[in-house]
Structure formats: structure tokens, C-alpha cells
Chain A
Amino acid sequence: MADLINTACAWLGTQRKAHASSTVTYSRGSMSVSVLATKGKTLGEMSTENDMVIVASIQDWLIDAADLVLGGSAVEPSDGDRVTDSDGVLWEVHSPGDPEPVWKWADSFRRTYRIHAVEVG
């Protein structure tokens, strides 16, 4: 019997990409690739330590794992990678805080990365 959930998730993924995404540049050092990405949740973030406050915006990006190819190889997102969105805003990939990693799967079938990033410029 076909896995209906898996099939539905795959269909939803194609719809998300076709109708709810924009082209961004994903880069690591001198390597970069243009991919379709969907904006996830956005948070205003203030982090305070000894009253020293850092104000930043946090944005999740949904990107198909198959599209994230740098230097000819499929890669997983990594701390310090950068995303330049269609408005020219620059985002840097970071963990939203221990123990959350810099990325996690957005679906149960490991097709799409949910990547955490902060606005840096």
C-alpha cells in the first residue's frame, strides 16, 4: 500500500516551492548557489547577558535538501553559512540556542531543511 502521508508531503513540498518561495543565494565562503527558499517563522530576538543587549531578527528558511549543492556536492547547512534573500537582506546561519542545532528536518521524510538564521545586514 502506498504511503499516503509521504506522498502528500512530497506534493505539499512541490506546491510550497512553486507557490510560496523566492530565489535566494545560499553561500559558504566563495561557493554559492541560487535556490528556491520559503520564509519560515520570524522572531525579534533580544539576548541579554550582564545587561549587554543584542537586538537581532531570526528567520527560518525552508530549502529542499536536493537543491543545496555547493562546489558540486550536496551539503548540509553549517554554522556561518549565509543566505541573501530576494530583497538583498543578508542572513547568517546560526543555532537559535543550545541545544537546538543550526538546522533540522522540516518534514518526516528528510526532503527539506529548516535552517535557522539571523539578519546581519
Chain B
Amino acid sequence: MAIVVDVADAIVDLLNSGTWDQAIVAERTYLPRGTLKDGDFESVKVSVVPRNYEPDMITRSMADEDVWVDIGVQKKTDGDVAQIDPLVSLCESIATYMRGRNIGTVNPVSCYESQYSPIFVPDHLEKFGIFTGLVTVKCRTVR
């Protein structure tokens, strides 16, 4: 399996086995997509999407391999701060949880950086009442 798929799957497993302030179900996908009228955003929707792959030769036979994975967190809200704050906390918790974490795949992979940006997407909140937060995790392995 491609390293990007292995890393994304490992992140899905980590998220689904983690303990969070609210129930989440993470899913790996290439095109995170939901339909408002079908209720796709009534519970917290977590989409894990491989974003970037950067191999970098460190010797003639070994390479650093960087994999960036996006973790999208989405939920329908009524726009109230009281409903949005816990979702911001959830995103922040995910970013903190992932940072520095070793994830078990065929090769040791270290998540050396995580970033929570944008904190929310104003357009989604204004037009649909949907909170969208994006955590990007950067992981590295050596092969």
C-alpha cells in the first residue's frame, strides 16, 4: 500500500480509538463531500484526506518521506458560540493529540507538526450554518 494511504489509515484508527469530548467517526476519503438536506452534518463528520507527499533523499539509499494529511471537522450548528466553541476545542485537541505522535505503520512514522488552520470557514458558517475546521498533520518516515 502507498505510504500516504498507510499514514492516513493510521490517523483514522488513532482518531476513532481516541477519547474526545464529543463522539466522532473519522473516515478516510479523497473527496470529502456532504449534502445538507441528507443530514450529513448532523453529527460530527471527520474526513481524513491525504494531501501531500514529499520524498527527500538523505543518503544514496535512504529517503525522508513527508506525508501531509488533512483532517476536516464539520458539523451543522445554529451559529451560536455555545455550539461552535466545543468544535473549536475538538479541532485543537486533535491537533495537540497528533503532534509528536508515533503512528504504527510498516515503518515508524512520526507526526512532527500539526496545524489548525483555518479555525473555521466563515463562508460555510454564514451560508449553511456548518462549522468547518481543518487540522493538517505532517508526518515523516525514513525508508
Q: Which residues of A contact B (CB under 8 A)?
A: 45, 47, 49-57, 79-80, 89, 92, 94-98, 118-121
Contacts and interface: CB of A to CB of B under 8 A. Distances in A.
28 contacts: A47-B123, A47-B124, A49-B121, A49-B124, A49-B132, A50-B72, A50-B134, A51-B49, A52-B72, A52-B132, A53-B33, A54-B41, A54-B124, A55-B33, A56-B127, A94-B126, A94-B128, A94-B129, A95-B127, A96-B127, A97-B127, A98-B122, A98-B126, A119-B36, A119-B37, A120-B36, A120-B76, A121-B37
A54 B34 contact: yes
A45 B35 CA distance: 10
Contacts of A52: 32-33, 47, 72, 74, 121, 132, 134
A95 B78 contact: no
B128 A47 contact: yes
B106 interface: no
A50 B68 CA distance: 13
A95 B124 CA distance: 10
Contacts of B35: 54-56
A94 B127 CA distance: 5
Contact of A53 (B34, B123, B127, B129): B34
Given A53-B31, A80-B78, A118 B126 contact: no
Contacts of B36: 54-56, 118-120
